[in-house]
Amino acid sequence: MPTGTAIRDVREQLFQAAERVLLRAGPSALTSRAVTDEAGCAKGVLHRHFADFDAFLAELVQDRVARVDRQAEALRDSAGTATVAGNVAGALTELFGPVAVAVVGLVTSRDELRARLRRTTPTGIPVLTEGTAMLAGYLAAERARGRLAADADVDTAAPLLIGAGHMLFADRTGRPPEPGDVLKAVTGVLGGGDVAGS
């Protein structure tokens, strides 16, 4: 791109470029040069908008976290509709899309990035932590509606569901699990007897 040419939505273009690199080559291939080459811009563009590359990566992860927050709102709004297990299986499938799985790998592979993210996510792994909160909130809403057993431990079930989901979707290079396999894992964690309408 010629010097002096304005780039519209430069942050979003850089984030999308980073996501493409992550999906294609994994966290180890994600460098500032790889991102700017993928975005078709000069390396200096990234450094004009972010203090350094780790600051860029932290904002990339925060952008992903914001998407989980939006997903959480939609999932809470679905309480009382369809089946609990089906809603949770759908939420896990959306949460563990290829980019999110790659972002989790990125966070776990970069010490400096994790240190920066501790300022906003003091415990756990960003995306997974927010995903856990999303499921706990949804399950609590369903318990309040009587669609889960009154004594269902949603604060334990939520991280178990995230762990099961991560195991199912974690192979970045493999095929995603079949919907039936996700649903089976969800009903295994929630217990068929505790879920109304499963």
Residues 82 and 179 in one domain: yes
Residue 66 sits in the same domain as residue 45: no
Residue 23 located in a structural domain? yes
* Distance separating alpha carbons of residues 30 and 19, to the nearest angstrom: 9
pLDDT in tens, the chain (198 residues): 444 444 558 999 999 999 999 999 999 999 999 999 999 999 899 999 999 999 999 999 999 999 999 999 999 999 999 999 999 999 999 999 999 999 999 999 999 999 999 988 888 899 999 999 999 999 999 999 999 999 999 999 999 999 999 999 988 677 889 999 999 999 999 986 444 433
**pLDDT confidence of residue 9:** 87
Domain CATH code at residue 42: 1.10.10.60
Cα–Cα distance measured from residue 190 to residue 183, given in angstroms and rounded to the nearest whole number:
10
Judgement on whether residues 125 and 162 belong to the same structural domain of the protein: yes
d(CA 198, CA 79): 14
User: Which pLDDT score, from 0 to 100, does residue 187 have?
Assistant: 95
Verify that 90 and 134 share a domain, yes or no.
Answer: yes
DSSP H or E stretch at residue 94: helix 84-95
pLDDT for residue 8:
57
Residues 41 and 123 in one domain: no
Asked whether residue 101 falls in the same domain as residue 172, the answer is yes
The Cα 87–Cα 77 span in angstroms is 11
Residue 28 lies in a domain: yes
Please report whether residue 78 resides in a domain.
Answer: yes
| 157 and 111 inside one domain | yes
pTM: 0.87
Instruction: Assess if residue 185 is contained within a domain.
Output: yes
Identify the bridge partners of residue 195 per DSSP, sorted by sequence position: 148
What's the confidence (pLDDT) of residue 192? 63
DSSP collapsed to 3 states, 50-86? CCCHHHHHHHHHHHHHHHHHHHHHHHHHCCCCCCHHH
Domain housing 36: 8-49
If you ran DSSP here, which 8-state letter would residue 195 be given?
B
The domain total for the chain is 2
| In a shared domain, residues 180 and 131 | yes
Report d(CA 165, CA 146) in Å as an integer: 25
Whether residue 75 is found in the same domain as residue 41: no
* The two structure tokens encoding residue 177: 């699990």
My answer on whether 107 and 180 are in the same domain is yes
